[in-house]
Structure 1
Amino acid sequence: MLKYRFTILLFSFSLLVGSCQSSADMEDQEVVVQNENIPPVTEDVFASDYWDDAELVWSDEFDGTTLSEENWKFETGNNGWGNNELQNYLDNGNVEVSSGTLKIIAKKESVEGSNYTSARLNSIKEFTFGKIEIRAKIPDDKGKGIWPALWMLGNDINNVGWPACGEIDIMEYVSFSPNEVHFTVHSEANNHVKGTQITSGPVPLETIEEEFHTYGVLWTDKYMKFYIDSEDNIKLNFLRPSISNSDNWPFSKPFYFLMNIAVGGNWGGLEGVDDTIFPAIMEVDYVRVYQK
């Protein structure tokens, strides 16, 4: 909102009978007048330098030896998670913080009716728009059956359900298809149940299992651009539909992070599960959020 400032000079006069005092005291007073009819000046989110001055507003670097309870909470259970997954997500024994990285570990062990255990972490903080980066290394290529993911869900999922809440898949990997990564967007209008998801398809990445890579998304009210390692390496560019609504663009609201390794499932277990691949470990170096 633009503001105009006017300086108003207030004069004090002392009135005398038959004359006025010529040496009046003068006082300056500043008054702010707001003009609500003038729209705010906004930046062009499509400008090439738009993200240059984005500032780091939140991160977890996974230093130390314990997971931050201020940043993360466990989501537990062995209910299949809507995808017929096989793991039991536990809140102990499947996460380690050491040597500057978070380790999420999927194991072959029987707990409460499941033959596999793993961990699923949700961030406590939520974010709307920003440059999101997660640097991670996928589990070593040992065989079929695991489904690691770094992703986000709309914070209203408990009220509207999935996929109406929206889902942003910053990185997905299935071990029956090594050396590839996937970027995907889900909504009520576009999701894998209907076969209408917005996806990059398999993106070749020969060193995904051997090296750390940065998986990022540039997220504004107008687009989401997914990239690997640098902002100019865009692999999926999803523009807000010209006629948008909550069904096709539920992405202008707070989202939270999720990090997990699923075992089996409709996609991860498409070609079965090789029990010799466990333990399977995904390492996360950091999660960072930059905003304008």
Structure 2
Amino acid sequence: MTSALLVTPVVDATTALGKPAQAAAALVDPATPANARPQAASTARTLVFSDEFNGTTINTAKWTKRDWARTGTVAPDTWRYDPANVLTDGRGALAIEVRNPATNRYTGGLIDSNGKFDYTYGTLEARVHTPVRTNGHLAAVWLLPTGGLAPGGRTDGTARDGAEMDIVETNYQTDRYTVTLHWDGFGPPAHQGSGTIANAPGLHSTWYHTFGLNWTPTKLEFTYDGVIVRTVTDPKLISQVKEYPLLSHEILDAWADGSIRDTVFDWHSTMYVDYIRIWQ
């Protein structure tokens, strides 16, 4: 997503597990089945964070709705993350909408666990309904390092000190999506990236799909419905620091067939998240 998001220190999952059971349990949704395991092959066994989104409101002990202006559109278009676009659907899912409230104005939505939960290594899986007509907008599940992409204002030429890990960005109207890493800042001169396109059978014809990341000190495995779609083993590209999850519905002219205002922007589309779970 390559956006300059604010970061603050957090209590990580490992620390939380060492606290009284009540504190650790706050990170795991009691509605998550006790026998829940990753769909993809994984050695991670302990559930450290989950949300089934069964409530009538977003759990603010885990998530923050962001209200931030964004860049990246072509003038006079503007867009922002609007907290009003993030809600639960009343049927057990997070719903993140996009809107076109005025001419050349567009809004999406984002929640993240920054300041509330982060972790290093483990298996993340999110069961997501992606918008069907992704023209000018996309659904995204991603991670950002708690210390930022350039901790201390320094870059080292690698992702080891923190990477944006885009597990899924559904910026195609066909059944495929991008899986991308970004490191060393959000822009020139130091920013670097590495991306690939994952084939995703049934992405738009079947309501829900599971997107995941198996993250170890030596390997990243990105998965779609339990199948590995990208593997990273280059040690320079694997983050070794704490990161936190984000769920968002994004807008950008670059993701439209032409600019947003010159195309059919489907502002009725909604991203739904049935659950997100993280094991270590």
Normalising to structure 2: TM-score of the pair?
0.71
Q: Which amino acid aligns with 1:136?
A: V
Q: Does 1:151 align with 2:148?
A: no
Q: For residues 202 and 53 of structure 1, what CA distance do their matches in structure 2 show? A: 24
Q: Which amino acid aligns with 1:179?
A: D
Q: Which residue of 1 aligns with 2:53?
A: 62
**Contact 1:137/1:209, CA 8 A, preserved across alignment:** no
Q: Structure 1: any 5+ residue segments left out of the alignment?
A: 1-48
Secondary structure of the corresponding residue to residue 127 of structure 1? coil
Q: Which residue of 1 aligns with 2:118?
A: 126
- Which deviates further from its counterpart, 162-171 or 281-290? 162-171
Match of 1:258 among 216, 241, 246: 246
Question: 5 Å matches for 1:96-107?
Answer: 96-107=88-99
Q: Deviations over 1:55-74 (max 9, x none)?
A: 21110010121110011002
Residues 53 and 207 (structure 1), Cα distance of their counterparts in 2 relative to 1, 3 Å cut: closer
Q: For residues 52 and 219 of structure 1, what CA distance do their matches in structure 2 show? A: 10
**Contact 1:154/1:167, CA 8 A, preserved across alignment:** yes
**Contact 1:66/1:96, CA 8 A, preserved across alignment:** yes
**Contact 2:149/2:163, CA 8 A, preserved across alignment:** no
**Contact 1:87/1:262, CA 8 A, preserved across alignment:** no
**Contact 1:131/1:218, CA 8 A, preserved across alignment:** yes
Percent identity, aligned pairs only, is: 22
Residues 53 and 109 (structure 1), Cα distance of their counterparts in 2 relative to 1, 3 Å cut: closer
Q: Which residue of 1 aligns with 2:208?
A: 212
| Count of aligned pairs between the two proteins | 229
- Which one has the largest radius of gyration? 1
Q: Does 1:282 align with 2:278?
A: no
**Contact 1:65/1:98, CA 8 A, preserved across alignment:** yes
Residues 126 and 270 (structure 1), Cα distance of their counterparts in 2 relative to 1, 3 Å cut: farther
**Contact 1:170/1:215, CA 8 A, preserved across alignment:** yes
Q: For residues 195 and 71 of structure 1, what CA distance do their matches in structure 2 show? A: 30
- Which deviates further from its counterpart, 183-192 or 198-207? 183-192
Q: Deviations over 1:86-111 (max 9, x none)?
A: 4221122443342010000001113x
Q: Does 1:272 align with 2:263?
A: no
Q: For residues 210 and 86 of structure 1, what CA distance do their matches in structure 2 show? A: 32
Q: Structure 2: any 5+ residue segments left out of the alignment?
A: 1-39
Secondary structure of the corresponding residue to residue 92 of structure 1? helix
Higher helix share: 2
Residues 256 and 78 (structure 1), Cα distance of their counterparts in 2 relative to 1, 3 Å cut: same
RMSD: 3.2
Question: 5 Å matches for 1:81-96?
Answer: 86-96=78-88
Q: Which amino acid aligns with 1:103?
A: A
Secondary structure of the corresponding residue to residue 83 of structure 2? coil
